[in-house]
Amino acid sequence: MEQTQCRTGQNTARHPVHRPGHPDLGNVKKVADNVTEQQVTILEATGHDLDDIADMAREIWPICFKSIISPDQIDYMLEMMYSPKTLANDLKEGVVYWRAVVDNGIVGYAALGPCEKMDKMKLHKLYVHPAWHGRGYGSLLLAQVEQYARSRGCRTLVLSVNRKNAAAITVYRKHGFEIVGELASEIGGGFVMDDFLMAKTVG
């Protein structure tokens, strides 16, 4: 996956969610794997960035999951997974978040955390705002996740994805993940997460 235009690092400044109308790509040079040179930066998130990540999730989820789960379940899961308390606790438990930033606005994010087995890590979240799909930003986020995982001695990345989310499953398969199981979990509120489990060897 092309990382030539990807810079990594930390920045504690708050970045708003980027909402492009019709971005001017006239001066944007296409590079390998559909990644564009548009000042895309992958930054490790800090506690100062959690509100921005939650704001982006609230924009993305109703768009991406409207045909997969009910609006009530979307609201329930957003509160469960993106409340300030939950996100702060993620950081305390060793979950690392990254932001994809273009022109000082967040266009996507990813989160990776430890598993019980030391040679595995779990990809908890990987999202790019639909307005920025098709430009390789998800690939850059995933490449950063994999690089970090390998540097920590991880041999296998695992994730769970809604079994009805065909688009996400296709993307993960494109990047080397395979379905290795199924899991249906009651999450409260009368709701169930019905997922495929996927895995990829990275080390």
pLDDT tens digits for 157-176?
999 999 999 999 999 999 99
Provide the total of helices (H) and of strands (E) in the chain, helices listed first. 5, 8
Please report the pLDDT score of residue 116 as a whole number: 81
User: 7-153 has which CATH code?
Assistant: 3.40.630.30
Amino acid letter for position 29: K
CA 166 to centroid of chain Cα atoms: 16
For the chain, the C-alpha Rg in angstroms (whole number) is: 16
Residue ranges in the chain modelled with pLDDT below 70: 1-38
pTM, to two decimals: 0.81
Among 80, 47, 59, 79, which residue's Cα sits nearest to residue 17? Answer: 59
What is the rounded distance in angstroms from the CA atom of residue 71 to the CA atom of residue 62? 7
Grouping H, G, I as helix, E, B as strand and the rest as coil, residue 158 is strand
Please report the pLDDT score of residue 110 as a whole number: 98
Residues in the chain: 203
What is the rounded distance in angstroms from the CA atom of residue 33 to the CA atom of residue 174? 12
Please report the pLDDT score of residue 23 as a whole number: 32
Percent of the chain's residues with pLDDT above 90: 77
**139, 170 Cβ separation under 8 angstroms:** no
Among 199, 171, 194, 192, which residue's Cα sits nearest to residue 182? Answer: 194
**197, 180 Cβ separation under 8 angstroms:** yes
Amino acid letter for position 62: P
Region of 188 (left: φ > 0; alpha: ψ -120 to 50; beta: rest) is: left
H helix runs in 99-156, sequence order: 137-151
What is the rounded distance in angstroms from the CA atom of residue 105 to the CA atom of residue 19? 8
